[in-house]
Amino acid sequence: MRSWTRPKLLKSALLLLCVWTAIPSFAEEETEKPNDAFATVHVSADVQRAIGIKVESVRALAPVTRKQVNGQIEAIPANTAAVNAPLAGRVLTLLAQKGQRVKKGDALMTLDSSEIRQLSVESQRLIALNKAAEEQAQAKVELAKRNYEREKTLLGLKIASTKDYQTAEADFKQAEAELNTTRSQTRLSGAQLANRLAQLGQAIKATAQGHITLYAPISGIVLEQLVTPGEAVEAAKPLFKLININKVWATGQIYEKDLQFVRLGQRIEILTSAYPERIFSGSIVNIDPVVDPISRTLAVRAAIENPDLLLKPQMFVTIGLIESSQGQVGYFIPSEAVVSVQGKQSVFIKRGDDDFLPVSVETGETKDNLIRIKSGLKGNELIVTQRAFQLMAQGAKGAIPSEEEESEKKTTSKSQPESILFLTLGGVILLLLGFLAGKGSKQLAKNHTVTAHTVALSKPAPTNSEGE
């Protein structure tokens, strides 16, 4: 039998070591699956909750066309009011200040006026005189009434003459007429003051001292306060300016070529930089009848309800003119639900509890962070609207394991290095054994050679006679 030399044993050990160390990688290659981005992705329920996957139904909405123009907020002229000094005087007290909210009928200020004081004094004098005259007339009426009743009684007893009765009756009626006249004069004693106050055209209340109080003609905010206490003012001097912005105008300039996009009553949406996440809505109430010859634009005004007073006059806004398309319905989904899979716009549809299938779709216009799907989806399908990108990334790697699968995978991966270490150690042992075996065989061969040589030397040499 042919003996194994050390080089042969070394080569055999190395070959065996390479085969054993390659076994794990072969096993791994056999377990790898082909990569298909449009294959169903399996995600367990606990992983869905952990990464925040959200699923919603596809919504069918009517598509809209939009035209956006720049504009600004304006106060409605009918909702503003100026409070002016009704006559010359001096400011006594201010009961409202700039920025203060007031209601209609709230007192704004008091003003001292010499004119009103004179009218008030004259009115009080006339009232006093007419009161005295009224009392005298009342006394005359009572006297005339008693005479009249007495003559009437005597006439019934045939004691008094008819002439005396008629005279007493005439005196009684005349006294009553004088009393009525005096009462009318008393009522008219303050007419001059009342007429003067009415002539001023404002809600005013006057006192006998000549002090007048001015009241708010509308509810709103004090936009301007133009006087200070103690200041002397002339008639018609501006004192306050009030503004009510519970409803405002959004005014935009429209080019004549864009008139096709606007009409009275049309719905609009307002976007502001101050509140980027909020949309204000309203409708067009006014369109200028004439185009500006220089700018070739005209103003379009829309009324906006503003109960929280968030929209301020002179605030810049973006006005969206909305026109719904009749008879057409499209499917709209959140924009973040659409991802690119192998260069195609796609969404993930939920199949069952833990499976998600990516499907290719054709997209269209956007509406309020929603994107229209022209084809590829059906109504009421459940699609992933949040974390679709994570699903797309996982689709290229494989299913997301559950916690149990993950722990099992870690155990398997942990055992692989141990097997490799064991195989490597075995190869080293074999190599060492091969080396020792080779060394032993060499020593054995050497010993065999020495023995043979010794035997040869100890053998006697042949003689000549024997050789012959």
pLDDT at 431: 61
246-296 pLDDT, tens digit per residue, is 999 999 999 988 888 899 999 999 999 999 989 999 999 999 999 999 999
Strand partners, 458: none
Asked if residue 339 lies in contact with residue 347, where contact means CB atoms within 8 angstroms, the answer is yes
In which residue ranges of the chain is pLDDT below 70?
1-38, 59-66, 201-203, 208, 323-330, 367-368, 394-468
The β-bridge partners of 253 are 299
Q: Output the pLDDT for position 45.
A: 82
Q: How far apart are CA 242 and CA 236, in angstroms?
A: 16
Note the pLDDT of residue 156: 85
Instruction: Give the Cα separation of 440 and 446 in Å (integer).
Output: 10
Q: Are strands 382-386 and 297-305 parallel, antiparallel or unpaired?
A: unpaired
**Given the structure tokens 């009275």, which residue do they identify?**
264
Q: Which amino acid is at 25?
A: S
Give the span between the Cα atoms of 87 and 393, in whole angstroms.
80
Q: Phi then psi for 49, rounded to 5 degrees?
A: -70, -35
At 327 the pLDDT is 47
The answer for residues whose C-beta is within 8 angstroms of residue 72's C-beta and 6 or more apart is 250, 251, 314, 315, 316, 317
With a CB cutoff of 8 Å and minimum separation 6, the contacts of 302 are 249, 250, 251, 252, 268, 270, 282, 283, 284, 285, 319
Distance CA 291, CA 297 (A): 5
Strand locations in 280-425 (E): 280-287, 297-305, 316-324, 330-334, 339-341, 344-351, 355-360, 362-367, 370-375, 382-386
Q: Residues 22-42: pLDDT tens digits?
A: 444 444 444 444 445 567 888
Query: 39 near 398, Cβ under 8 Å?
Result: no
DSSP class of 400: B
pLDDT digits (tens, 9 = 90+) for 226-238: 999 999 999 989 9
Q: CB under 8 Å to 398, separation ≥6 — which residues?
A: 33
Query: What pLDDT was estimated at residue 4?
Result: 47
Strands lying side by side in the sheet with 362-367 = 59-61, 330-334, 370-375, 362-367
Task: For the chain, give the mean pLDDT.
Answer: 78
For residue 183, give the 3-state DSSP assignment: helix
Closest listed residue to residue 332, CA positions, set 372, 366, 359: 372
DSSP secondary structure letter of residue 202: S
Helices 403-458 and 6-31, interaxial angle, to 10°?
170
Q: Are 377 and 58 contacting, i.e. CB atoms less than 8 angstroms apart?
A: yes
The sheet carrying 220-225 orders its strands as: 80-84, 238-243, 220-225, 101-102
Provide the pLDDT for residue 94: 95
Token pair, residue 74, equals 């304006």
* One-letter amino acid for residue 263 of the chain: R
pLDDT of residue 436: 59
